[in-house]
Structure 1
Amino acid sequence: MAFRFVFLLGSLLSFIAFSHNIDVDVPVPYWNDIMHRFRVHNRTVAPTPPGNLPTVDQTSTPSRPTQTYEHTKQLDQKGDYMLFWRTNNTHITFETHVKTLGYVGFGISQTGGMYPADIVLGWVKDGQVFLKDCHTVGYVAPVVDRSQDWVLEFGSETDDCTILRFSRKIDTCDSDDIKITDDTAKIIFSYHPDDPVSMTSLPWHGTTRRGTQSLMLLATTLSEEASGMPENVITHDFLNQHYRIPPVPTTYRCTTFDFPDLGKKHHVVKVEANIQEGHTPYVHHMLLYHCANISLSLANSTYMCYDNAPAAFVNCRAVFAAWEIGGGAFYYPPDVGMSLGTDRDPRFFILETHYNNQANISGIVDSSGIRITYTPEVRKYDAGMLITGFFVDPSEIIPPYEESFISKGYCSEQDLARGVPEEGVNVFAVLQHSHLLAKKFRTRVFRNGSEMEPFADDNYYDFNFQEFHYLKRERKLKKGDSIEVNCDFDSRARTSLTLGGLSTYEEMCLSFLLYYPRMDVEACWSFPLYQTVSNDTLLAQQEMYKWDWTKPEVRRKFDVVMNETLYRHSSFGNFLEGGWQFHDFYPPQRRNLYVRPEVDMCSNSP
């Protein structure tokens, strides 16, 4: 997903040039160059202990799981492979519903491919259920583990579906198994219409009965029931209207809307995508911006978001709702909602849709959008959304040929203090966003010079799996805290510089925090100035473009530049006194860094 905040490129220049609160100068050609570039481009359920093979239950149906689960995911596009799962402190239980009368494959992979992977194979034959704990040693049939750590709990075969329920320890202490962690897990799946005669003669599943899906298996979830969803709800869709997607790889299209006058306060309790059937491959992300002091007469218009966007929408850069590729419905906690209907709440919205048409297909007409569900039953707290990280622009430079290069975006104590109340705010969900090069992602928080536990930390970030994830417990963000967003990029496949920008091939490093109670700071980010190369940021970039990045010594030279650069910090909020403010300073020297605790479950294992 390529996030961008409406008109930051075009209209932010007017803020820089004319705001009395700005104490630094930004060269006009720099912003013109950016404009040009963008135009041309937890329930606890213990597992069933091992015992005799379960009997076949012919009464189960593929549409309903046999037990209660915290998570549900359709793994394939057709809905032939459904996955349900739940976790406790020590175990994880899965249930698969697959439209086949043959074998079912399910696994956890380090790369998303067949090898290396931890795999379980199961099937039902002649009234008996079979389950084998396996691993891969190459792109050949899996090998059965010497230690069978997956426990079969239930098996069923209906007229056209095989249902299996199985469990294992989160850490089996078996070198042939993959430990399940808080990071993104690459799930692989397969199935075949026939049962295997033996494990040594396993029929190949083929190319159409396999796939991969990224999931956070240990993530906290919030079901509709647990969210306290009231019966008295209203849905409202913000939709594109029969838009003909251009036959180009990347399109950002914006549509404006006026929201009805509700007459009194309401709370949004659910946000989800409303994707036109068959259009999932083309809708990459959607952002719903809210705007202050905008005439409703400007609603019902459309335009290309970053190509001569109307100047009237200068204040439309705060995000109200978001959906990204791979994301599902998001429910607000039972005592929290996004406010609508008061004088401080928006009625003018802009839907930004990023269309991804890599095959340049013509004739696709789309009416997808975002759906919100709201209620007049007002909850205790108003939610807010804070966008933080590396300001999206070409000043983000990622060298080629690097296995690990970390971009850092800062939200300073000074900027946060503009909005965070003395009692602080409570962060309950985080969405981390980058593009194709990102392999690790961390949203860090610092207090009194020491690093606290990160809001989010993912060592296996996947561009195709991006959604808000609930924190396992609410975290306090206090006045005096600062935030640092780190993106770890792998650019070994690139032969030239990768810059920050809108397209999928360019990069971003942003974190979205959902919290309560709502404060006035809505955006807080930074970008480097490279003043050791040139006092003019644009000239510094142009000079660095000429470097021979194939040489390791040049890339090490850039490391020195990054270590010595000033950063320009900025913050904004629609109701924030003083509007945009900018200030420059060096990144702080960090001490007392946080170390993720390692829980040893294997010390007493044989």
Structure 2
Amino acid sequence: MNLLIKIFCLAAILNLSETFQIYADVEKYNVKWEIDGDLITFSIEAETTGFVGLGFSRGGGMSGADIVVGGVRNGVPYLEDRHAISRSTPILDEEQNVELIEAFENDTHTFIKFSRKLETCDEEGDVAITEDTISLIWSFGATDDLVYHGANRGSRSVNLLDPQGPENPDLSKYKVWELRTVKAMPAADTTYWCTIHKSPNVPRKQHIVGFSAILESPSAYVHTHHMEAYLCHVPPGMESVFETYLNHTGEDCYYPDDPDFPGHFCESIAYGWAIGGEVVLFPDHVGFPLVSGEYFKLEVHYNNPNHLNDVAFDTGLKLYYTEDLRVLDAGRIAIGSEINFTQMIPPNSEKFVTVAHCDVSCTAELPENGVALFNFLIHAHLSGKKLKVRQFRNGEELPWLINDEHYDFNFQATRPFRKEMRLMPGDHLALAGGRTGPPLNHPSDTDPIVELPLEMQGRTFSQVVESVNWTPEVREFYQKVTRFDRHDAYCRPSGVQVKVGYPPHGEDYVPGDVCERRRR
């Protein structure tokens, strides 16, 4: 399981409203929602005069989903709180935890507005709305009879509580620097392809204020899974080598044919986009410095499960910048595990946790008053299902910095923090990634990059792993070692290498139980 989290930092306090609106559009179904305290209100417009359904699903399908069905039947508005236990007619909840505000229809469309609590405490029928990734599932029927909806359905992963920027931002006022890759995608399941780029020639420092993906064709949308731009640290006398590769088609990031390709000098993550991400604009007083003559490596993850040949398309990143400097410079911190053979999940595992640390050796040089955090991006491969960043300070675990209990590999947006989170000198961060679910039959079944070409006395690494007698005792020991033993940590760019594990602290942080408080 490859884990990574990238956090954007600035030296200022952010004020984020607790009330905001965001929109999700599909062809014949539009939904918008608004948060106010512990209440969420949905407004739906659907091209039908029959029933309209909206569901909240942790896994993306109907099974286990919390579903609301409403409409106008014989001139009378109605709304029902239901849940699904399979791909069949949703069951009416014993507790009705939705409130109909209004519902009406015209000759072609139905309009519904309703509200519910974020946490209804109905464990049987409802799904809590939290900061986790969740799938909105939707459907509508030709009549108000609750029968199979046919093709009138869909789903979309969202983060319902995340504050959002403007719906249609004006990007014309910014200059654009493109890190573009033009290539025929390799005919392999997964390819990480790297190219070298150079920052534009600017007369003085500029500020990068946002970025977006270059996805100009259907193939680019389908086959570009994620991209990252890395800042290169060029050794003295190596500029000519980097210049050679500026107009180069690139190399496989991990197995380059050209031994002189300088990608290994580029390890500081600068910008990242993943499937599900949209245009990202930073707060109005924050910008990332841009100067002339810096080299960057663009790493593109091509996803080609059908091994298609000769599919060529443009992809990459657009960086938006301005000469009107913002008040504050921003920076980045990345926490994660390097990809190697120790990133292994034993065969037939239902649960497993991987941990990475960022300790005081990395945070000691922060400003005395610390830094405020405004955006984050979490990333793991297919076997990652839960991701959490724990924060420790002065022997105490603080509330979790980031927590997503339902991470979706196919939805990895750059997300804003809902409220100010601060990182102080001496803080310790621990990234914990876990998988749950059906047993893995093979240590690399769901993570192609773990399939390393290692040979051990004539056997591959996977064969060696499968040959181990994974008794419950061996599994428990291996999990304990990988989770709680000391790790080799490397702090870039300082180059500090340390042995690190969880710091001494009191009780582990446990979030408050809203439902328990209500029952008192």
Is TM (by shorter chain) over 0.5? yes
Q: Are the aligned partners of 2:83 and 2:92 in contact in 1 as well (CA < 8 Å)? A: yes
The sequence identity of aligned pairs, in percent, is: 29
Instruction: Decide which of 48, 64, 71 is 2:22's aligned counterpart.
Output: 71
Q: Who is 1:31 aligned against?
A: none
Give the deviation of 1:381 after TM superposition. Answer: 1.1
Q: Who is 1:12 aligned against?
A: none
- The aligned amino acid for 1:365 is A
Greater Cα offset, 370-379 or 563-572: 563-572
For each residue in 1:470-492, what CA deviation from the matched residue of structure 2 results, as whole angstroms up to 9, or x when unmatched?
11222221221111110112364
How far apart, in 2, do the equivalents of 1:500 and 1:392 lie? Answer: 15
How far apart, in 2, do the equivalents of 1:429 and 1:102 lie? Answer: 41
Q: Who is 2:11 aligned against?
A: none
Residue 256, structure 1, aligned to residue 196, structure 2: yes
Q: Who is 1:220 aligned against?
A: 163
Instruction: Decide which of 245, 261, 265 is 2:185's aligned counterpart.
Output: 245
How far apart, in 1, do the equivalents of 2:366 and 2:463 lie? Answer: 39
Give the deviation of 1:185 after TM superposition. Answer: 1.9
Instruction: Decide which of 439, 460, 465 is 1:545's aligned counterpart.
Output: 465
- The aligned amino acid for 1:219 is D
Give the deviation of 1:238 after TM superposition. Answer: 2.1
How far apart, in 2, do the equivalents of 1:255 and 1:593 lie? Answer: 43
Instruction: Decide which of 357, 360, 365 is 1:410's aligned counterpart.
Output: 357
* Matched position secondary structure for 2:262: helix
The residue correspondences of 1:82-481 to structure 2 (distance < 5 A) are: 82-124=30-72, 129-155=77-103, 157=105, 161-174=109-122, 175-192=124-141, 194-196=142-144, 198=145, 202-206=146-150, 208-223=151-166, 232-241=173-182, 243-279=183-219, 280-293=221-234, 294-295=239-240, 297-298=243-244, 299-303=246-250, 304-308=252-256, 310-341=260-291, 347-417=294-364, 419-481=365-427
- The aligned amino acid for 1:598 is D
How far apart, in 1, do the equivalents of 2:48 and 2:304 lie? Answer: 33
* Matched position secondary structure for 1:297: helix
Q: Are the aligned partners of 2:232 and 2:296 in contact in 1 as well (CA < 8 Å)? A: yes
How far apart, in 2, do the equivalents of 1:499 and 1:141 lie? Answer: 34
How far apart, in 2, do the equivalents of 1:300 and 1:159 lie? Answer: 57
The gaps in structure 2 that reach 5 residues or longer are 6-15, 453-458
Task: Report the CA distance shift for 1:548/1:492 in structure 2 as closer, same or farther (over 3 A).
Answer: farther
Q: Who is 1:61 aligned against?
A: none
Task: Report the CA distance shift for 1:398/1:205 in structure 2 as closer, same or farther (over 3 A).
Answer: same
Q: Are the aligned partners of 1:403 and 1:489 in contact in 2 as well (CA < 8 Å)? A: yes
Number of positions where the alignment pairs a residue of Structure 1 with one of Structure 2: 493
Q: Who is 1:16 aligned against?
A: none
Give the deviation of 1:110 after TM superposition. Answer: 3.5
Q: Which has the higher strand share?
A: 2
- The aligned amino acid for 1:214 is S
Task: Report the CA distance shift for 1:235/1:94 in structure 2 as closer, same or farther (over 3 A).
Answer: farther
Q: Are the aligned partners of 2:382 and 2:446 in contact in 1 as well (CA < 8 Å)? A: no
Give the deviation of 1:289 after TM superposition. Answer: 1.8
Give the deviation of 1:4 after TM superposition. Answer: 9.1
Give the deviation of 1:559 after TM superposition. Answer: 3.3
Q: Are the aligned partners of 1:401 and 1:550 in contact in 2 as well (CA < 8 Å)? A: no
Task: Report the CA distance shift for 1:340/1:560 in structure 2 as closer, same or farther (over 3 A).
Answer: closer
Give the deviation of 1:567 after TM superposition. Answer: 1.7
Q: Who is 1:58 aligned against?
A: none
* Matched position secondary structure for 2:518: coil
Q: Who is 2:510 aligned against?
A: 595
Give the deviation of 1:375 after TM superposition. Answer: 1.6
Greater RCO (Cα-Cα under 8 Å, separation 6 or more): 2
Question: Over aligned residues, Cα RMSD in angstroms?
Answer: 3.3
* Matched position secondary structure for 2:218: coil
* Matched position secondary structure for 2:67: strand
- The aligned amino acid for 1:366 is F
* Matched position secondary structure for 2:164: coil
Give the deviation of 1:604 after TM superposition. Answer: 6.8
- The aligned amino acid for 1:471 is F
How far apart, in 1, do the equivalents of 2:18 and 2:500 lie? Answer: 48
How far apart, in 2, do the equivalents of 1:144 and 1:89 lie? Answer: 27
For each residue in 1:20-61, what CA deviation from the matched residue of structure 2 results, as whole angstroms up to 9, or x when unmatched?
xxxxxxxxxxxxxxxxxxxxxx6566xxxxxxxxxxxxxxxx
Q: Are the aligned partners of 1:156 and 1:162 in contact in 2 as well (CA < 8 Å)? A: yes
Task: Report the CA distance shift for 1:81/1:352 in structure 2 as closer, same or farther (over 3 A).
Answer: farther
Give the deviation of 1:103 after TM superposition. Answer: 3.0
Q: Are the aligned partners of 2:350 and 2:440 in contact in 1 as well (CA < 8 Å)? A: no
- The aligned amino acid for 1:151 is E
Task: Report the CA distance shift for 1:133/1:380 in structure 2 as closer, same or farther (over 3 A).
Answer: same
- The aligned amino acid for 2:268 is A
For each residue in 1:262-310, what CA deviation from the matched residue of structure 2 results, as whole angstroms up to 9, or x when unmatched?
1122212221112123232211001122224345623121222222264
Q: Are the aligned partners of 2:22 and 2:164 in contact in 1 as well (CA < 8 Å)? A: yes
* Matched position secondary structure for 1:358: coil
How far apart, in 2, do the equivalents of 1:561 and 1:4 lie? Answer: 20
Task: Report the CA distance shift for 1:587/1:429 in structure 2 as closer, same or farther (over 3 A).
Answer: same
Report the TM-score, using the length of structure 2 for normalisation.
Answer: 0.84
* Matched position secondary structure for 2:130: coil
Q: Who is 1:81 aligned against?
A: 29
Give the deviation of 1:137 after TM superposition. Answer: 4.0
Report the TM-score, using the length of structure 1 for normalisation.
Answer: 0.73
* Matched position secondary structure for 1:562: helix
Q: Who is 1:567 aligned against?
A: 487
For each residue in 1:125-173, what CA deviation from the matched residue of structure 2 results, as whole angstroms up to 9, or x when unmatched?
6766443322224332123334443233344556755443322122234
How far apart, in 2, do the equivalents of 1:261 and 1:80 lie? Answer: 46
For each residue in 1:81-135, what CA deviation from the matched residue of structure 2 results, as whole angstroms up to 9, or x when unmatched?
3332111112101223434454322101243221222111233567664433222
Q: Who is 2:10 aligned against?
A: none
- The aligned amino acid for 1:493 is P
Q: Are the aligned partners of 2:374 and 2:416 in contact in 1 as well (CA < 8 Å)? A: yes
